[in-house]
Structure 1
Amino acid sequence: MRIFLRKHFNYSTSIALLYEVAMSATPKTPSCCCACGSQPTAPIENPKGWNGKYFAAVAGLAALWWLAYSSVLPASHWLVFKVLGLDPDSHWGLSLEFFLYDTVKILLLLVALIYGIAWIRASLNVERVRDFLAGKRRGLGYFLGATFGAVTPFCSCSSIPLFLGFTTARIPIGITMSFLITSPLINEIAVVLLWGLLGWKFTLVYVLVGMAAGILGGFVMDGLNAGRWLQPFILETLEKAPAHHFINEAGEVQKLTIRQRHSFAYSETASICKRVWKWVIMGVGIGAALHGFVPDNWFADNLGAGEWWSVPAAVLVAIPLYSNVTGIIPIMESLLTKGLPIGTTLAFCMSAVAASIPEVMMLRQIMTIKLQATFIGYLWVIFTVLGWLFNILGPYMV
């Protein structure tokens, strides 16, 4: 490992450089053009060689980030089962491994994605993108949000950093909700597994239903003007979004410097992470306990078979489960082989993937109770209706 690190990058130098960059770029006067809400001013001139040091530091830390992210799962497994000696089949072992893996993974995603999206916000004219998506092309925006969610391999909790980044970039709430709903439901691994286990018909139905749920959710949230129910600090951040350019004395438009973009992204990342990190740990802790101690078969054996109430009950009891779409597919196969109707199975599995107690706890720091209740209520209604519909159509899909 040491040889690999020395060969590919000097990690201590990268960290030192980025720290130096952050300290030198931190706003100290009202002339800053970032989240402080001041008026746009002329870009601050960078010291000679500053940009080169900055990009070198970013490249080094990006390599470190990828090494850490790709090592989280094997490191968690090694620490829990090799170092601590816990039984891989024990409740405590499964819960602790899950907690370590998911906590570190989500925190890494939170830092990287918030910084990256904030940097892009300060680099591009996000208002043009927002206006494009908010006009007559709003329907296209819902489709794009749902599609992007389908191609990102995130679970319900891991998609929150991107959702937060899109929200602070002032992308319409309906589009960000389309992403948040669809992201945990669909990914390329799930499609491959579903195709192999349950056939192309069920795979196609699952993908279409997941996309439709996300797109319809976008329409509903925008129709309710749900953006007003975001937490006050989010609304304040939207009001203090950075200016992306300024007009100089000659009347020419100039964009922010690299230094100012970093300053804004660094400040935004630090502010948001300070607010949500504790809730990430608490939420994943609850999810880990449920993951290790609550058997999936208990839910499967008590859902009923074919009764009208079994579908809404399946959606409700699945919410405490915390699983990604890849992990839920074997459960889906087991439920179907036990004779559970396809609609009840679909409703149960989609609810377990799209909503969870850890996700609700984390979203509480972004959404007010009204928005959370609307979000969860929409999922319950749409999955229940879909479950009833596919219980009727199920015999024709075989």
Structure 2
Amino acid sequence: MSIAERLPDTPARRRVALAGAALVWVAAYQVNGWIWDRILYDAAGLDPADRLTETIHFFCYDTVKITLLLTGIIFVVTVLRSWMSIERTRALLGGRREGAGNVMAAGLGVITPFCSCSAVPAFIGFVAAGVPIGVTLSFLIASPLVNEIAIGLLFTLFGWKVTALYIAAGLLIAIGAGWVLGRLGVQRWVEPFVFETRLGGQVIDSTAGLTPGQRVQMGVEEVGTILRKIWPYLLLGIGVGALIHGWAPEDFFTTYAGPGNAFGVVVAVAIGVPLYSNAAGIMPLVQALHEKGLPMGTLLAFLMSVVALSLPEMILLRRVLKPQLLATFIAVVATGITAVGYTFNLILT
């Protein structure tokens, strides 16, 4: 049974439910820290100054906080995204020339926030529809890089200035890297079967005609689906962040990636490229490293390298890209991220 067949659309109940859920969300977010203070310090009698206590508090508090942020962000983005399908995106990009097409593709990558792995099927569809390879690569880079979850978490943790720089830098990387790759004529390194793929006879737009109530239900279901997929990485990222927050020596990270190391950004990107995580899982680590004194540019370069060049995405891309193009893709994007990291370190000092 399809979503449209099994979901009721009752506007009054929907408004009441959404208002109630929003109030519960806000209340839970506001009292999160207070509750863990009462549980750990008052009820359990743990010493707030103890390193182990600090690690436990960080883990508990951030697990709830990040989960709440993810729930809100995923829900809102899914409802908005239900009006923007892959077919509509591909129709907008078709026939665009390089340059203007790269700009439009990067912009569409932001408002159609597929994750790095789900962007790969879109890549195949765009190439099969005749969208220039460089334009398509701009979309492929921007969609996971300018990530809605990363944007929401960055804004919450570091404010609007850092978030705005992150968005602008991500767009520049997607536009520039896509244009460069297109000018290199890399279409010869795309596996031949990609150009033979035809999706025109099969409509992917499963959200057409849904009512507002059904779009809300899609948001609810997407929250559950994504959280079930990422919770191990979320807990792992928060756990690592908690250990760093409570136990890592102050000078460890500043030695290898701090302001005193001229190659700190390069080191951060080199670690982030092969590392598999997502914005939700890596953000607690970014926060903990920021508290240890790492420059913001270095941290943002690390974050970008993780979300834009994830290992699963590279594995999927290898199915459609020949090794020459895959290596060139990684090199160009990593170079852009490294340049952004150094630039941010100059701007944000």
The normalised TM-score by structure 1 is 0.52
Aligned residue number for residue 101 of structure 1: 61
Aligned residues of 2:79 and 2:219 also touching (Cα < 8 A): yes
Aligned residue number for residue 256 of structure 1: 210
User: What is the distance in 2 between the residues matched to 1:50 and 1:259?
Assistant: 7
Q: Does 1:211 find its partner at 2:168?
A: yes
Aligned residue number for residue 290 of structure 2: 328
Q: Does 1:142 find its partner at 2:106?
A: yes
Aligned residues of 1:185 and 1:354 also touching (Cα < 8 A): no
User: What is the distance in 1 between the residues matched to 2:213 and 2:264?
Assistant: 57
SS at match of 2:285: coil
Aligned residue number for residue 279 of structure 1: 233
Aligned residues of 2:250 and 2:292 also touching (Cα < 8 A): no
Q: CA deviation at 1:174?
A: 2.3
Aligned residues of 2:55 and 2:246 also touching (Cα < 8 A): yes
2:144 aligned residue (177, 181, 193): 177
Aligned residues of 1:312 and 1:380 also touching (Cα < 8 A): no
SS at match of 1:323: helix
Q: CA deviation at 1:213?
A: 5.1
Listed one character per residue, the Cα deviations across residues 149-188 of structure 1 (whole Å, up to 9, x for unaligned) are: xxxxxxxxxxxxx764995796943222341398489759
Kindly provide the amino acid, as one letter, of the partner of residue 173 in structure 1: L
Report the number of matched residues: 290
Listed one character per residue, the Cα deviations across residues 127-168 of structure 1 (whole Å, up to 9, x for unaligned) are: 43564367444314536867x9xxxxxxxxxxxxx7649957
SS at match of 1:324: helix
User: What is the distance in 2 between the residues matched to 1:310 and 1:46?
Assistant: 52
User: What is the distance in 2 between the residues matched to 1:209 and 1:119?
Assistant: 24
Change in CA separation of 1:277 and 1:355 when aligned onto 2, cut-off 3 Å: same
Kindly provide the amino acid, as one letter, of the partner of residue 176 in structure 1: S
Q: CA deviation at 1:288?
A: 1.5
SS at match of 2:48: coil
Q: CA deviation at 1:59?
A: 1.6
Q: CA deviation at 1:294?
A: 0.9
1:53 aligned residue (5, 13, 19): 13
Q: CA deviation at 1:383?
A: 5.2
Q: CA deviation at 1:64?
A: 0.7
Change in CA separation of 1:215 and 1:79 when aligned onto 2, cut-off 3 Å: farther
1:128 aligned residue (82, 88, 104): 88
Change in CA separation of 1:240 and 1:266 when aligned onto 2, cut-off 3 Å: farther
Listed one character per residue, the Cα deviations across residues 166-219 of structure 1 (whole Å, up to 9, x for unaligned) are: 957969432223413984897598578x9xxxxxxxx9xx97687335521465
The normalised TM-score by structure 2 is 0.58
User: What is the distance in 2 between the residues matched to 1:139 and 1:307?
Assistant: 34
Q: CA deviation at 1:269?
A: 3.4
Query: Where does the alignment leave 5 or more consecutive residues of structure 1 unmatched?
Result: 1-28, 35-42, 149-161, 195-202, 229-238, 246-254, 333-344
Aligned residues of 2:169 and 2:340 also touching (Cα < 8 A): no
Q: After the TM superposition, which residues 8-19 of structure 1 pair with which residues of structure 2 at under 5 Å, given as runs?
A: none
Change in CA separation of 1:207 and 1:59 when aligned onto 2, cut-off 3 Å: closer
Q: CA deviation at 1:84?
A: 2.9
User: What is the distance in 1 between the residues matched to 2:292 and 2:240?
Assistant: 23
User: What is the distance in 2 between the residues matched to 1:347 and 1:163?
Assistant: 25
SS at match of 1:85: coil
Change in CA separation of 1:353 and 1:138 when aligned onto 2, cut-off 3 Å: closer
Change in CA separation of 1:63 and 1:130 when aligned onto 2, cut-off 3 Å: farther
Change in CA separation of 1:78 and 1:314 when aligned onto 2, cut-off 3 Å: same
Change in CA separation of 1:242 and 1:267 when aligned onto 2, cut-off 3 Å: farther
User: What is the distance in 1 between the residues matched to 2:47 and 2:66?
Assistant: 25
User: What is the distance in 2 between the residues matched to 1:132 and 1:93?
Assistant: 53
Aligned residues of 1:163 and 1:179 also touching (Cα < 8 A): no
User: What is the distance in 2 between the residues matched to 1:54 and 1:265?
Assistant: 13
Q: Does 1:243 find its partner at 2:210?
A: no
Change in CA separation of 1:309 and 1:190 when aligned onto 2, cut-off 3 Å: closer
Aligned residues of 1:322 and 1:353 also touching (Cα < 8 A): no
Kindly provide the amino acid, as one letter, of the partner of residue 253 in structure 2: F
User: What is the distance in 2 between the residues matched to 1:390 and 1:243?
Assistant: 41
1:110 aligned residue (27, 48, 70): 70
Looking at CA atoms only, which structure, 1 or 2, has the larger radius of gyration?
1
2:43 aligned residue (83, 90, 94): 83
User: What is the distance in 2 between the residues matched to 1:390 and 1:244?
Assistant: 39
Q: After the TM superposition, which residues 332-371 of structure 1 pair with which residues of structure 2 at under 5 Å, given as runs?
A: 348-351=298-301, 354=304, 367=313, 369=315
Query: Where does the alignment leave 5 or more consecutive residues of structure 2 unmatched?
Result: 124-138, 192-201, 276-281, 319-325
Change in CA separation of 1:107 and 1:166 when aligned onto 2, cut-off 3 Å: farther
Change in CA separation of 1:105 and 1:297 when aligned onto 2, cut-off 3 Å: same
Listed one character per residue, the Cα deviations across residues 95-142 of structure 1 (whole Å, up to 9, x for unaligned) are: 212211222222223333333333334456674356436744431453
SS at match of 1:243: coil
Change in CA separation of 1:383 and 1:258 when aligned onto 2, cut-off 3 Å: closer
Aligned residues of 2:78 and 2:219 also touching (Cα < 8 A): yes
